[in-house]
Structure 1
């Protein structure tokens, strides 16, 4: 399935093509067995060093030598990877994912209160209302596309509630803007559309800031604007953090819903068991996150000097990326890792990362997945994939996994 013959792995290993996106796990298995670190090649022409094993991945995610700030990237990396043009790169790429301490520590404290377990639990009934309303809008009988009808809408509606995005602004958000995180090189025919997305998203963020400055409330977006006006955040940091919330806060959950449902469709016995025993949902969600994570690869990390990484010499400024999916299928950590086991006990997967960059929205994402899967299975009896699994259209994103559409059938809508 990897598209690479069973012989010596090439250098660099190409991470591209439809077979790879549909099922990268056979290739990851070969890479893990050969070495914890490999040079890889992405469709944009960017080369990076990929970490694949569980212990190696966990160590790299917690390695203080590896920084996230793009200023650490060398000229060779920057020539290919700094795809977002100026001034947008400087204005939208200084969010939490691209910061190191102490800047990361200072910025992260502004968002953590909005995503505490206590607050998310308080909002659970509202999230359930949103999920039920979306299911109410599906056809009484199949077929339906669960991406356009549910998975692409539910996470954004939930996010709007959590961060304080008012309905009038939430209704204006164009999901197409989220594609600005998918690399499009300067000579790509799709470059003009890519830049149009950037300008559209920047204009939208400016409108959100203006609205919150005039109609401030006790919510995350208002607090970020107040922090900017007090000089605690720069203008670019404010715009970047809102950019991260809008894009990273909803698209990965959309994708995780598709990978989770596809995994359950592939294991109908497990699906039936989960439908019959909703109490399994919290544990099932952890296993589905491990089995096929929407966060397939992390974003860039860099050494500031030539360094050793698990026996491989990595030049300063080259990008280091961790494969969360490869780590989560490592048999040295997870017995029978290619089996979807809803009874799996210890499940310290890395789907949300590890260390100081552990996803601050992990509790929210877990709650969304539990509510979404529980609602869909309970209210759509006979839910099944209505096309062949090999005909699914996987998104071409470099770092993430998910499908553009998820055509399903079901007996009725309850």
Structure 2
């Protein structure tokens, strides 16, 4: 029996259907299990909550692109496009002190006051989209609501022309895909170049003509701190565009389908909107968009949850598996909006905890709350088992969500 048969893939482009049973089997097998990427590169998967906390805060598990490059060179395999070029200069590909410097820059511009000040605008976007679909008896909520709303928000936040949203969507999807064929890899390479050129031109324009949006604030913050290079600003903008809408599409879509699969839970939330904030946390825990997880690289030998991982290895923190760890969450496969424990790992943990978490929560609450309020008899238009998630993606995002509105 081959290794591939003994150990079905946990990570890669060939996954289909619900991944959580696979994650559960891996979690039962061990706190850290060794697997392989589709190209054969070995990877150590952290499956349980306690180990995930250790790994995400461990100083010897690195985010730096240089360590990734070393691992690939040692294995004789080609480093993926997404670890090179413009994306190699952002916060998610750096350790302190670079990470500290970049995060401080974003924190200075991406303030709680700025996010809070967007509430009315986000609600206007949600109302506008709800008005547009209200004339129909049936709609695909991904195409008509869950995708356009976060794009509208991130364009408004950054000061990116909303007319460019389709290009942003295509580039983001390509940059978060698992390219398999040479043609797919070439498409990703071209998307990296095009996205970088687009944002580079926009940054140059904002330097000449600053406005009051986040991109101009980032430029100003960078100049105040230490004069950040344009490629660092481009990398940061790419990260914010992708993280600012792809994950929120997943939060809205995954949360809605979880509710629509459980009409009793939908009715409870419809009848008591004070449950909305804890419901968002439960959607993130149960089926968060960051799936299968978060990559790290061992700078030296480390021990995670009793397992020794050698130096120079890929380590993958499987947040979705940890979020359903029965040792941490009672009845972890159930949707329980009264759980009252929001300490999930959907936004990560430690120094790299997601800066955009407050905005994602705000958008999720407004989007799902608006839809439930406007369409209180909404229901799935297709059997739940026929729902499809986007293939070859590093995020768990529905391809479509057909619903009947009346």
TM-score, with structure 1 as normaliser: 0.89
Q: Which residue of 1 aligns with 2:333?
A: 338
- 1:344 aligns to what SS in structure 2? coil
* Farther off after superposition, 170-179 or 293-302: 170-179
**Where do residues 63-142 of structure 1 align in structure 2 (5 Å cutoff)?**
63-73=58-68, 75-78=70-73, 79-80=76-77, 82-84=79-81, 89-138=84-133, 140-142=135-137
Aligned twin of 1:359: 354
Residue in structure 2 matched with residue 220 of structure 1 by the alignment = 214
Change (3 A) 1:229 1:313: same
Q: CA deviation at 1:22?
A: 2.4
Does the 8 A contact of 2:156 with 2:213 survive in 1? Answer: no
CA separation of 1:162 and 1:315: change in aligned 2, threshold 3 A: same
Does the CA-based 8 Å contact 2:269-2:275 persist in structure 1?
Answer: yes
In the TM superposition, residue 43 of structure 1 has moved relative to its aligned partner by 3.6
* Range with bigger deviation, 199-208 or 40-49: 40-49
Does residue 319 in structure 1 map to residue 299 in structure 2? no
Matched, 1:208 2:164: no
- Superposed CA deviations along residues 91-117 of structure 1, whole A, max 9, x for unmatched, are 222101111011101100111244443
Gaps (5+ residues) in structure 2? none
Please, which runs of 5 or more residues in structure 1 have no aligned partner?
none
Residue 193 (structure 1) shift? 2.5
**1:12·1:47 contact (CA, 8 Å) conserved in 2?**
no
The answer for the alignment partner of 2:183 in structure 1 is 189
Q: Please give the secondary structure, in 1, of the residue aligned with 2:326.
A: coil
CA deviation map 1:211-269 (0-9, x unaligned): 21121123321133345567531232111101101111111110121111111111110
Q: Report the more deviating stretch, 293-302 or 341-350.
A: 293-302
Alignment CA distance shift 1:268-1:93 (3 Å): same
Contact 2:279 2:337 in 1 (8 A): yes
Match for 1:14 among 9, 12, 16? Answer: 9
Contact in 2 for aligned 1:58/1:354 (Cα 8 Å): yes
Given that 1:292 and 1:325 are in contact with CA atoms closer than 8 Å, whether structure 2 keeps it comes out as yes
Greater Cα offset, 298-307 or 9-18: 9-18
* RMSD, matched Cα: 2.5
- Given the alignment, which residue of 248, 255, 259 partners 2:250? 255
Q: 1:266 maps to which residue?
A: 261
The equivalent residue for 2:380 is 385
Partner of 1:329: 324
Q: Could you list the per-position Cα deviations for residues 1-46 of structure 1 after superposition, in whole angstroms to 9, with x for gaps in the alignment? A: xxxx9xx996654126899542122222222222111122334544
SS state at 1:137 partner: helix
**1:300 alignment partner in structure 2:** 295
Single out whichever of 359-368 and 340-349 deviates more from structure 2: 340-349
Q: Which residue of the partner structure matches residue 364 of structure 2?
A: 369
Determine if the alignment matches structure 1 residue 26 to structure 2 residue 21: yes
Total equivalences in the alignment: 401
- Deviation of the 1:306 alpha carbon: 3.1
| d(CA) in 2 for partners of 1:382, 1:46 | 48
User: When the two structures are superposed, what TM-score results if normalisation uses the length of structure 2?
Assistant: 0.91
